[in-house]
Amino acid sequence: MSITTAGVRRVPRGPLRPVRDALAVAERNLIAYRRVPQLLVFSTIQPVIFVLLFTYVFGGAVQSSIPGIPYVDYLMPGIFVQTTVFGAIGAAVGLATDLKSGLLERFRSLPMARSAVLAGRTGADLARNVFVASLMAAVGFLVGFRIHTGALAFVAGMLLVLLFGYVMSWIFATVGLAVGDPETAQAAAFPVMAPLVFASSAFVPVSSMPSWLQPFAEHQPVSVTASAVRALMIGGPTTSYVLQSLAWCVGILLVFVPVAVRRYRRSV
Amino acid sequence: MSDTAILVEGLAKRFGDVVALDGIDFQVPAGTVFGLLGPNGAGKTTAIRILTTILAPDGGRAEVLGLDVVVQADDVRYRIGLAGQYAAIDPNLTGRENLRLTGRLAQLPGADARARADELLERFALTDAADRPARTYSGGMRRRLDVAAALVQRPQVVFLDEPTTGLDLPSRNALWEMIRELVADGTTVLLTTQYLEEADRLAERIAVVDGGKVIANDTPAALKAQLGSTVIELGMGEAARALKAGDLLAERLRTRPERDGATVRLTSGDGARQLIDVLRLLDDHQLAPTTLAVREPSMDDVFLALTGHRAEDEAAAEGEAAAAGPGRAGRGPGRRGGP
């Protein structure tokens, strides 16, 4: 059966519409990376620079506070997590751009699933993160990163990185829809992101931070995820960090998916 | 299905303290062009956003093809096309990809979306540029692509929000021609415009909107007739003389002259008689005009008579604001200025 309006054939309405529409939007967002490769620069060159900088410049100084393992092995799991957080800013900038250009207005007048723009955007970000995380792993191995556990644990760590990146996309998607302007989105995203990334265990052990900062740095989502991924890749107590990280992911999705969808429905 | 394509009753919308629509009513018969005419901030875009299911109204109701835009929003979306104020296209996609994406999201089967994209590219003279990213397009090409995207699902009702803003003359004429063809095919078109000439040329009926209210709703001819048949424009050379002449005419001929710099403008139901009286009176007071024009009233004059201010002043001010701003000046309900 196909819905016909003025002799136009349609795909029947049904439960698959949100999936089809999200795929169409995701494809559209991924084409942008092919057409404007600069979009990938921020999410690839920047983490590569971080790897080199932290390994060769700060590494010597930091090494003393992490006895027993080479700093690069400590660093890389943190870099994977940090990369997906920085990359998620793309969702804020991209959605703010679509909002400002009137594209979301067009989408909202079409008989497409209301969830598709956000699902497509975050889905495209996930696909991009698969590429970027693979690239970062390759760079890591080149500068001496070694897995101390096993291949399965490493893959599990990468999956956690990708899940966390997906969750971050929803936060920044909300930011983008809320501010509605790409430059403002970029500016608004940084203050959200910087404390999460730098006041965390991503680059240095939390024990090296001042005592007033430690409670935040110990429990915030980037830290527990970096610690979980690190435990999966180089060993150490794993279960607690993984569970904390998963709890953060679920909690953030429970809050931000409805908020983002609500913002999308109301944005013009 | 009724012969009324669009029905609007008591439609109201406010954004915080700003009343965008203060209870508007109008009906659009199927297969006609209806014009919403008004200055920026009058509520035209808000009305279009409600009718295209993008915004929910605070009060009143609206139907498109007998379907309630709130309750049956999804059904409405299968039947409408929207071209907003600024070309809503993805600059990173090619023209062809933009139209295919719109087709897929309009739930056309893949093959149909591809065929329809090709057909529209041909129709809008974009075939040569079809495989270039849309960011390389000129303003006119972007607008054509945008209107093409609005037509992808062969909508029965098309909404065009200031479709010719920023278009050069040939592009504007081509778009007008396209609108006439759509209507000849039975499509209903609702367009908003600040260009009085555009509403006059295209629309069978016009609702003049100001401050969120419909202040007139009639045919272009009737709106002009309501005002009088003739406009007399007297160039007085300098503002002081224009002021004197205006006062004199108001007092002695019981007219309502409008002064604009050194020009005095009068409307009249009996142009010839009025003209003789005006010139005689002015000559008697050594106020003979330096230039004289007698013309049919334009929609601009209609607007002035109805609202007390000229549409073009605000349109020009808005144009400057848009040129000065980084992107879409005045976009979004929260940033919209008061009426």
Residue B278, both tokens: 């005006």
The domain locations on chain B are: 4-219, 229-296
Q: What is the pLDDT of residue B167?
A: 79
Spell out the residues 6+ positions from residue B218 whose beta carbon is closer than 8 angstroms to its own: B205, B206, B226
Rounded to a whole number, what is the distance in Å from the CA of B301 to chain A's nearest CA? 33
Res B114 pLDDT > 90: yes
pLDDT-wise least confident of B25-34, B222-231, B234-243, B307-316: B307-316
For residue A149, the model assigns a pLDDT of 92
Check whether B3 has a pLDDT greater than 60: yes
Residue of B nearest to A114 (CA): B74
Q: Measured between CB atoms, does A5 come within 8 Å of chain B?
A: yes
**DSSP helix/strand/coil, B83:** strand
Whether the CB-CB separation of A217 and A200 falls below 8 Å is answered with yes
A180 closest CB neighbour out of B149, B153, B332: B332
- Find the domain containing A104 and state its range: 17-266
Q: Look up the pTM and report it.
A: 0.82
pLDDT band at residue B315 using 50, 70 and 90 as cut-offs: very low
Which residue in chain B is spatially nearest to A265 when comparing CA positions?
B54
Total of domains in chain A: 1
Q: Find the helix or strand (DSSP H, E) in which A201 lies.
A: none
**What's the whole-number mean pLDDT along residues B88-106?**
96
> Which of B18, B44, B54, B105 is the mutation pick for testing A, counting most A CBs within 10 A?
B105
Asked if A35 lies within 8 A of B92 by C-beta distance, the reply is: yes
Burial bucket for residue B152 (CB in 10 Å: 0-12, 13-18, 19+):
buried
Closest residue to B106, CB basis, from A35, A103, A111: A111
Mean pLDDT of B291-315: 71
In 3D, which of B246, B288, B286 has the Cα closest to residue B266? B246
pLDDT band at residue B231 using 50, 70 and 90 as cut-offs: confident
Check residue B221 and give its pLDDT: 82
Of A8, A100, A110, which has the smallest distance from its Cβ to B105's Cβ? A110
Q: Which CATH superfamily is domain B4-219 in?
A: P-loop containing nucleotide triphosphate hydrolases (3.40.50.300)
A3 assigned to some structural domain: no
Give the one of A3, A9, A180 whose C-beta lies nearest to B112's C-beta: A9
Number of other CB atoms surrounding residue B309 within 10 Å: 12
Instruction: Report which secondary-structure segment, H or E, holds A157.
Output: helix A151-179
> What is the average pLDDT across B265-273?
79
Asked if the model's pLDDT at residue B124 lies above 70, the reply is yes
Has residue B327 got a pLDDT over 50?
A: no
pLDDT greater than 70 at residue B316: no
In order of B258, B296, B304, the CA distances from B300 in angstroms are: 13, 11, 6
The predicted structure's pLDDT at residue B174: 85
Tokens of A110: 């079409």
Q: Per-residue confidence at B313, pLDDT binned at 50, 70, 90?
A: low
Question: Looking at residue B329, what is its pLDDT?
Answer: 35
Rg of the Cα atoms in chain B: 23
pLDDT of residue B330: 36
How far is A266 from chain B, CA to nearest CA, in Å? Answer: 7
Task: For residues B238 and B160, give the distance between their C-alpha atoms in angstroms, rounded to a whole number.
Answer: 42
CB contacts of A268 in chain B (<8 Å) are 49, 54-55, 332-333
Provide the 10 A C-beta neighbour count for residue B279.
Answer: 16
Locate tokens 């435990």: which residue? A231
To test the contact with chain A by mutation, choose from B50, B53, B54, B79 the residue with the greatest count of A C-beta atoms within 10 A, namely: B54
| CATH code matching the domain that covers B229-296, chosen among 2.60.40, 3.30.70, 1.10.520, 1.10.10 | 3.30.70
Nearest Cβ partner of A268 from B107, B159, B333? B333
CA angle A195, A197, A203 (to 5 degrees): 125
Interface test with B, best of A2, A8, A98, A108 (most B CBs within 10 A): A8
* pLDDT reported for residue B321: 39
Does position B36 have pLDDT exceeding 70, yes or no? yes
B108-114 average pLDDT score: 95
Average pLDDT, chain B: 85
Q: Locate B331 and state its tokens.
A: 């976009």
Q: Per the CB < 8 Å rule, is A9 touching B154?
A: no
User: Which pLDDT score, from 0 to 100, does residue B299 have?
Assistant: 65
pLDDT above 90 (res B126): yes
Average pLDDT, consecutive stretches of 10 residues, N- to C-terminus, chain A (268 residues)? 59 92 96 86 84 88 81 93 91 93 93 94 95 93 92 96 97 93 89 89 89 92 96 92 97 96 85
Mean pLDDT of B5-25: 94
- Is A11 a domain residue? no
Decide if pLDDT at B200 tops 80: yes
Mean pLDDT, rounded, for B111-124: 95
Beta strand B188-193 with B157-161: parallel, antiparallel or unpaired? Answer: parallel
Nearest to A10 among B107, B327, B332 (CB): B107
Q: Quick check: A103 and B105 CB within 8 A?
A: no
For residue A159, is it within any domain? Answer: yes
pLDDT beyond 70 at B305? yes
Is B88 in Cβ contact with A31 (below 8 Å)? no
Residue A10, in any domain of the structure:
no
